[in-house]
Structure 1
C-alpha cells in the first residue's frame, strides 16, 4: 500500500492507463491498381471527345493589339537624335556590325573622321519607329541585326568604301545618298562616278560642241557658193582681157 499511496518511483504517481479507441469490424485494404482491360482501352480511345477545329486557322486571325508602353524621356531623346541624323546629313550608310576589339573601333573611327564621316551606334527599337513614320521607311528591312550608321554632310562614298575595305567586321548593307536609297552595288557604282566639277566641265563641253558643229554646217554652203561665184567672175574678167585666168585662191571649208 505504501508503494501505491506515496512511495515508489515518481513515474508511477498519478499514472492512468492510456485510452485507445478500437474500431470493431474494420477490414484491411485489399484493393490494388489493376491495368485497364485492352478492350476498354480501345473503347475509351474511340469515344474520346475531340474539339472541333476552328473555321479560320489561328495563324490567319488578327493578332491582339499589344499594350503600347509609354516612352520615357530618354527614349524620346534618342529618337530625336536619329531624326536629326537623317535630316542633317546627305550620306547615311547602314552597316552590319560584328564584334571587334575596341582598339580597332577607335582606329576605324579615326580614319573615317579624317574624311568627315561619323560613326553612330543605334538600337533597332529606337530607329525602326522613327523610319516607319518618315520617307525613309524603305530602309526598314536593313535594320534586322546589330547595325551602325556612317553619316556625313558630304558625299564621301569613295573614301568610306576605302576605309571599310580594311574592316571585315563591318559590312555595308545600303545607303541613302541625297534622299536616294542605294544598295551596296549602287553605292559602289556611285563611288566610281567623277566629281561634280569634272561632270560639269564635261557637260559644258558637250553642250558647246553641238552649236559649233551646227554653225560650221550652216556656213559651209554659203562659203562654197561664194567661192564658185568668185571663180566665175574671174573667168569672165579673163575672157574680156584675153589673158589666161589666174588660179583661184584656196578657200577653207569654214569660210566667213
Structure 2
C-alpha cells in the first residue's frame, strides 16, 4: 500500500498532447468571419454605453487649447542670473556703435575658436544669448525691432567703433555666419546699405574735405569783397610809378641841359 501511495503521489501525471491545425487555409485577420448569431446578440446586449464627453457640447472657442498651450510655453520662473545677463546685454547694446545680427550655421569648435580670435583682434565681441534673454533685455527700448530677427540660431557682434570694413572682411572668412542686418551709430541698415557704407571713405578724410570746401568758399567771398580795393590800390601804385618815371625823365633832361647852358655862358664871357 505504501508503494502504491508513493507511486500515486510522486509519480508523473498524464498530460494531453496539443497540436494546432489550420485546416489548410490562412486566418483572415482583416475580414474575420462573423460570429454565431446567438453570440452576436449577446455581445450587442453586453456592450457598455458610455456618456458623451462634455467637450463635444462646448463651443469651438472653448475647445481651442492653443491659448492654454501658449501660456504654458511662455511661463518662465523669474531667474536672477538671467536678469543679470539681460542687464549686461543691454549695456553692451548701448555702448556699441556697430551692432551686427548674423545667422549662425553649424560649425566645428576649431572654426568657431578661430572666428572668435579674428573678431577679437578687431576689438569685436560675439554674443550668443537666448531669445528670452534678448527679449528681456531689449523689450521697451529703442532696440526692440531687433527682436524680430532672433528666431532660431542668431548671434550679435558688437564693436565700439563703426569698423564696417573689418566686419565684412571677417564675415567673408567665416561663411558659417550670414549677415542679416546691422545698427551703425543708431541707424538700422540692411546688407546692401552696409556694403555701401563700407565703400565710403574715412570720416576724418571726409571732414577734411568738407573743411577745405568751406575754406575755399570763404576765401572766394573775401577775395570778391577785396577785389575793388586791391584793384584801386594796384591802379594807384601804377599811377605813382608813372609819375615817378616822368619826374625822373624830366630831372635827367634838366641835368643834361645844365652843362650846355654853362658852356654857352663861358663862350660869351670869352668873346667879351
Same topology, TM > 0.5: yes
The 2-side partners of 1:120 and 1:148 are apart by 6
Residue matched to 1:207: 214
Equivalent residue in structure 1 for 2:177, among 155, 170, 174: 170
* Paired residue total: 197
C-alpha separation in 2, matches of 1:133 and 1:143: 16
Per the alignment, residue 18 of structure 1 pairs with: none
Shift of 1:146: 0.6
SS at match of 1:66: helix
Q: How does 1:133-144 map to 2 (within 5 A)?
A: 133-144=140-151
Matches within 5 A, 1:170-209: 170-209=177-216
Note if contact 2:102-2:181 (Cα within 8 Å) is conserved in structure 1: yes
Check whether the contact 1:174–1:182 (CA below 8 A) recurs between aligned residues: yes
Runs (5+) with no aligned partner, structure 1: 1-8, 10-27, 34-50, 244-256
Task: Pick the aligned partner of 1:132 from 121, 126, 139.
Answer: 139
Measure, in 1, the Cα distance between the counterparts of 2:112 and 2:174.
9
User: In 2, Cα distance between the equivalents of 1:130 and 1:82?
Assistant: 7
1:91–1:156 CA contact under 8 A, matched in 2: yes
TM-score by length of 1: 0.63
Could you say if the C-alpha distance between residues 170 and 181 of structure 1 is closer, same or farther in structure 2, counting changes exceeding 3 Å?
same
For the 8 Å contact 2:99–2:183, the answer to whether it is kept is yes
Q: Distance in 2 between matches of 1:170 and 1:241?
A: 88
Q: 1:238 to 1:143 in 2, by over 3 A?
A: same
Work out which of the two has the higher radius of gyration on C-alpha atoms and give 1 or 2: 2
Residues in 1 aligned to 2:241 and 2:91: alpha-carbon distance in whole angstroms: 81
Q: How far apart are 1:153 and its partner, in Å?
A: 1.7
Aligned to 2:71, which of 66, 71, 80? 66
In structure 2, the CA distance between the partners of 1:229 and 1:124, relative to structure 1 (3 Å rule), is same
TM superposition shift of 1:66: 2.7
Aligned pairs for 1:1-256 (under 5 A) are 30=38, 32=40, 66=71, 68-228=75-235
Deviation at 1:211, TM superposition (A): 0.9
Instruction: String of CA shifts for 1:119-166, please: whole Å, max 9, x gaps.
Output: 111111211232222111121221122111111222221111101012
Q: Is the 8 A contact 2:83 2:136 kept in 1?
A: no
Q: Could you report, residue by residue, the CA deviation over 1:51-88 in whole angstroms, capped at 9, with x for unpaired residues?
A: 9x98x9x99xxx57836433222322322222122123
Question: What is the CA RMSD across the aligned residues, in angstroms?
Answer: 3.8
Change (3 A) 1:229 1:73: closer
Residues 97 and 225 (structure 1), Cα distance of their counterparts in 2 relative to 1, 3 Å cut: same
Measured in 2, the distance between the counterparts of 1:118 and 1:207 equals: 39
